[in-house]
Structure 1
Amino acid sequence: MMQRLVDTVLAVIKESVKTFTYESLNNIVRLINGISALLLTFLPGKATILEGIHGWELRPAFRGPRFPRWMENGVSSFNQFIHELSVDSDTDNSSLDALSGEEDSSGYESAGSSVSQSSRASRSSFTKHGQHQMNWIQYIMIWVFYPFKLFLGIPVCLFQLAYSRLLKTPSIPGSPCSFHLRSARRVRSLKDHVIHRATDRRRGVIEDLHLFIEICIEAIFDVVHKAAHLLLSPSEAFGTLKQLFSSHESSFKEDHDVVDVSVSAAVLGKNDPKPSERNTSFNQSLNTDARTCQDVITELGYPYEAIHVITKDGYILLLERIPRRDARKVVYLQHGILDSSMGWVSNGVVGSPAFAAYDQGYDVFLGNLRGLVSREHVNKNISSRQYWKYSINELGIEDIPAMIEKIHEVKTAELNLSKPDFDEETNDDQPYKLRAICHSLGGAGMIMHVITRRIEGKPHRLSRLICLSPAGFHYDSNLVFSVAERALLLLAPILSPIVPAFYIPTRFFRMLVNKLARDLHNLPAVGGLVQTLMSYVVGGDSSNWVGVLGLPHYNMNDMPGVSFRIALHLAQIKQARKFRLFDYGSASANIEAYGSPEPLDLGEYYGLIDIPVDLVAGQRDRVIRPSMVRRHYKLMKRAGVDVSYSEFEYAHLDFTFSHHEELLSYVMSRLLLLEPNSKHLTNHKSLKSRKKGQVSD
């Protein structure tokens, strides 16, 4: 009777403490959100900045009174958390590694997401050669964010201890905060797996704080409950302890002989599955979204193929594909800066260019340029400084040609098998038509590819080029970009050996960004304030910058970065007011690279472009203004290129990350226009006549 009364009192006190702490934290969050809303009302220009954002709701959703979150469905959220984890797949890895401050070379893969084949290979290869040396900026970041790292690490350890106690399983000797590998197997059905992967269940830092408080309260009251139970029923408590210690001793005796060999073998039985299939995942407890482009494509029911491409300088690129192997219509989509192939599929089936092209009968290829923090390279021991030593030159002269040649190799082999009687009168060696859609920096790289291949006398393989807000000219930009240009050019000799690239160096910091992006979505006013401030940095551009940060490819496993040389190259282009190749800083270095003391001015060679080009600008684009896209158009028109120009009332990121039916319809309509211009026909006929003349001779 007394024990029941004590249990009831402790339960009431525990739930009261939970309610008080939970509501106190909620009030603090509401206060922060309210202050942000107040600041947002006084910021100038926020109406025009936020007007074009789709899917970003600044007005709070009004709700009626409700129970605290931990009382929903009649169960504490901590207990619900335990239940959800108990059905998670065993194929995931421990989340303790996610809290380490190591580089991506640790070889860790996120749970709940099947990482692309290229990323898997690169991360596993980097496991052997250890950590890369971090520069002083990374050390500063580690010490500044150490309290956050400690804060996020404590609930995981507490949860592991609590969960081990719930399962009544001992810990592995020498491995703190870990599960016994003989715990019950938890296998999730395929249906549940797909539902989980297709739904963004990511939690933010605020929700993690809620869970941290609940875990602490549960742990404290569990100790108090055990103490009270020991005092009220000493005989039963001592019997339980004796039985527990005896089970520990028997378990240790059974595994004693195997422990001498290795720790991992000490917990494996003959009938146990492989370690990779049994490791319990705690990454679900962190709830980060690390889906890849492959995950998005396959979850929506489309076919998928991954192709690994190796450039001449040894970089390993991932060329992804939504295959139609018998299709003669091929489209190649190339992303821009700080982006990946995810941008072309991020709007789902209805609003994504990749899916729209596939539904229209195209064989779709999605290119990924170098510049991921996983650093895929044939040299497994490549240093950070060596990997990031590239400019826009390498994107347009190495990466894009390598991927296009791989597309040519794949399509030629497939179509020669299925349709050997292709029409040689329309294409010399291509049984297919290859169109390219590119955005931002991808557009500059694609134009560079066409011109340099024509100069070298090599085929560029393209039949049409659609450039969405292409880079290349940047002299008409805002004050922030002008200041950055001056700073980069002035400090380049000092910063170049110290800062090889701009990226988030460790997995913990990337996880923090991933979670903070979720908080910005959950708190409308705070998200609106951050969105407004970020738009000021890029000159008032109304793109949904906060929304893009929440996309899966900005995750704890991998994230796009920008090499210092690319930033310096853009600064050189802006200062020179010309679209030219990278300036190596001296006449001798440029002569060695280009054969002339000055870098090649690509604008002077626009006459070599022998395919139709469609240029698209955004009227609200403040990153690459419409005047800069019109500069491309004027030079091409003057050089006799078959070029068109269109403007839409969009911002910079709207071309890929927002669903605009008007833009999508325009792009698809331009893909269908494949009639070559007269200059291309003339060049083609003259080339054929030369070949016939040589044969007759």
Structure 2
Amino acid sequence: MALRGQFLIFRVLVLLVFESRSAYGSSRGWLGRAGDATAAQEIGICASSVIIHGYKCQEIDVTTKDGYILNLQRIPEGRAAGGVQIKRPPVLIQHGVLVDGLTWLLNPPEQNLPLILADHGFDVWIANTRGTRFSRRHTSLDPSQMEFWNWSWDELVAYDLPAVFDHVYKQTGQKIHYVGHSLGTLIALASFSEGLQVDKLKSAALLSPIAYLSYMRTALGVIAAKSFVGEITTLLGLAEFNPKGKPVADFLKSLCTNPVVNCYDLLTSLTGRNCCLNSSTVDLFLRNEPQSTSTKNMVHLAQTVRDGVIAKFNYGRPDYNLMHYGEFRPPIYNISNIPHDLPLFVSYGGNDALADVSDVENLLDSFKFHDGDKLGVQFIKSYGHADFIMGINAKDIVYNQVVAFFKRQN
């Protein structure tokens, strides 16, 4: 069981590190560089990726109850709004793991979801999870301290989402539409299942949803399990999981020495073939991502794969779980507890090896008693995991559907 658990940690890690890598370039090239300096790193997401396109944008800090200072971007209106003062419905957009809010803004403005939503009359807010480059602050801790990284996606559910929801709700006085991708869907589902945020929520769009992960596919599984378990054990001594740092980069680079592994087509091998990525967008992604998360978060994701349930972090010993939860096993997030009248839109892809079709259908089964007119489902046969955030045709295929779904709820 320990060997299998370590392998699953690796499996989730590699899938998510490379979830937005394509066949346009060499994975060896990415592993070999420390990360290019970018405008976003120096001046922030608003100045580098929003204002330059003619949109208003504000950089905002929000502090969680456990002391993390989160960075948000607010795009209050579309480019053609002309400063007309009307009450625009708010939309909160949440990225996945090992990336930040910039990943929504890598294509030209007419192809980016936040700017499309702004142009359709929404007040857009982009979240940046704790640990990413603009959310590496705390009221009393420093990222160099291990305690800064003592969290998993449980804390994103318990602290990050509430802090951001509360701020947006207080600023706008309106219920919020939500868009999540990948891990951004998992933390939303977990939160809604516990009745959190639903009083402030108008509707939610879940793109490439991650919940159940039992059918995640990877061509590297056997090699990883046999060859790199020792390296994984060493990695687990790290509190910060930094894909651009030497320990993690060296570990991933070692995969390329095996002749069976195709390091030039890792995205296809690991997340399914993405149909619609632009090579220049992928290059821009690599100049900005991936971002750090906590090693504990990666372990928690691996537990989700191994156990086949959506549960809180397992501390590995019944007495430790008893100390944290008052019971010997971690509590389950019961997705079927999500209110049946909450408007949900689910969009998933047939070529997504991370959010596999079987796992998404398992998730959809949790909604079998959902009000029929409150659940929209879109299946895109050709789409892989990264197409939902960087696909050149995502506007026509996905984003227009999201906009129409949100407008029907107003």
Q: TM-score under structure 2 normalisation?
A: 0.75
Gap change, CA 1:538 and 1:607, over 3 Å in 2: closer
Does residue 346 (structure 1) correspond to residue 346 (structure 2)? The answer is: no
Determine the C-alpha separation between the residues in 1 that align with 2:46 and 2:202. Answer: 26
Amino acid at match of 1:452: E
Tell me the residue number matched to 1:468: 207
Determine the C-alpha separation between the residues in 1 that align with 2:190 and 2:41. Answer: 34
- SS of alignment partner, residue 93 of structure 2: strand
List aligned pairs for 1:243-392, cutoff 5 A.
292-324=45-77, 326-372=86-132, 375-379=136-140, 381-392=142-153
Q: Which runs of 5+ in 2 are unaligned?
A: 1-20, 26-33, 78-84, 254-261
Tell me the residue number matched to 1:562: 293
Determine the C-alpha separation between the residues in 1 that align with 2:74 and 2:150. Answer: 28
Determine the C-alpha separation between the residues in 2 that align with 1:481 and 1:671. Answer: 39
Deviation at 1:322, TM superposition (A): 0.4
CA deviation digits over 1:666-686, x for unaligned, max 9?
1111111217xxxxxxxxxxx
Tell me the residue number matched to 1:502: 242
Q: Which has the larger radius of gyration?
A: 1
Quick one: which of 582, 594, 617 aligns to 2:348?
A: 617
Does residue 650 (structure 1) correspond to residue 389 (structure 2)? The answer is: no
Deviation at 1:494, TM superposition (A): 5.8
Amino acid at match of 2:308: R
Tell me the residue number matched to 1:595: 326
Deviation at 1:603, TM superposition (A): 3.2
Determine the C-alpha separation between the residues in 1 that align with 2:329 and 2:150. Answer: 20
- SS of alignment partner, residue 665 of structure 1: helix
Deviation at 1:592, TM superposition (A): 3.1
Determine the C-alpha separation between the residues in 2 that align with 1:478 and 1:545. Answer: 24
- SS of alignment partner, residue 50 of structure 2: helix
- SS of alignment partner, residue 468 of structure 1: strand
Deviation at 1:330, TM superposition (A): 1.2
Deviation at 1:373, TM superposition (A): 5.0
Amino acid at match of 1:568: V
Tell me the residue number matched to 1:402: 163
Deviation at 1:640, TM superposition (A): 5.6
Tell me the residue number matched to 2:397: 662
Determine the C-alpha separation between the residues in 2 that align with 1:343 and 1:459. Answer: 26
Determine the C-alpha separation between the residues in 2 that align with 1:622 and 1:610. Answer: 30
Amino acid at match of 1:650: Y
More helix by percentage? 1
Number of residue pairs matched by the alignment:
357
Determine the C-alpha separation between the residues in 2 that align with 1:486 and 1:572. Answer: 20
Gap change, CA 1:401 and 1:548, over 3 Å in 2: farther
Deviation at 1:501, TM superposition (A): 1.2
List aligned pairs for 1:142-161, cutoff 5 A.
none
Deviation at 1:393, TM superposition (A): 0.8
- SS of alignment partner, residue 306 of structure 1: strand
Amino acid at match of 1:536: S
Determine the C-alpha separation between the residues in 2 that align with 1:579 and 1:111. Answer: 37
Determine the C-alpha separation between the residues in 1 that align with 2:76 and 2:66. Answer: 28
Q: Contact (CA 8 Å) 1:345, 1:353: kept in 2 or not?
A: yes
List aligned pairs for 1:135-284, cutoff 5 A.
none
Tell me the residue number matched to 1:289: none
Amino acid at match of 1:433: K
Q: Contact (CA 8 Å) 1:569, 1:583: kept in 2 or not?
A: yes
Determine the C-alpha separation between the residues in 2 that align with 1:497 and 1:673. Answer: 49
More strand by percentage? 2
Q: Which runs of 5+ in 1 are unaligned?
A: 1-52, 58-100, 118-291, 413-431, 514-528, 676-697
Deviation at 1:537, TM superposition (A): 3.8
- SS of alignment partner, residue 469 of structure 1: strand
Q: Contact (CA 8 Å) 1:450, 1:609: kept in 2 or not?
A: no
Amino acid at match of 2:209: P
Determine the C-alpha separation between the residues in 2 that align with 1:650 and 1:479. Answer: 17
Amino acid at match of 2:102: M
Does residue 573 (structure 1) correspond to residue 304 (structure 2)? The answer is: yes
Deviation at 1:354, TM superposition (A): 0.9
Quick one: which of 632, 639, 647 aligns to 2:363?
A: 632
Q: Contact (CA 8 Å) 1:485, 1:571: kept in 2 or not?
A: no
Gap change, CA 1:597 and 1:561, over 3 Å in 2: same
Q: Contact (CA 8 Å) 2:240, 2:292: kept in 1 or not?
A: no
Deviation at 1:530, TM superposition (A): 5.5
Q: Contact (CA 8 Å) 1:489, 1:571: kept in 2 or not?
A: no
Determine the C-alpha separation between the residues in 2 that align with 1:572 and 1:640. Answer: 31
Gap change, CA 1:554 and 1:394, over 3 Å in 2: farther
Deviation at 1:572, TM superposition (A): 0.8
Gap change, CA 1:461 and 1:486, over 3 Å in 2: farther
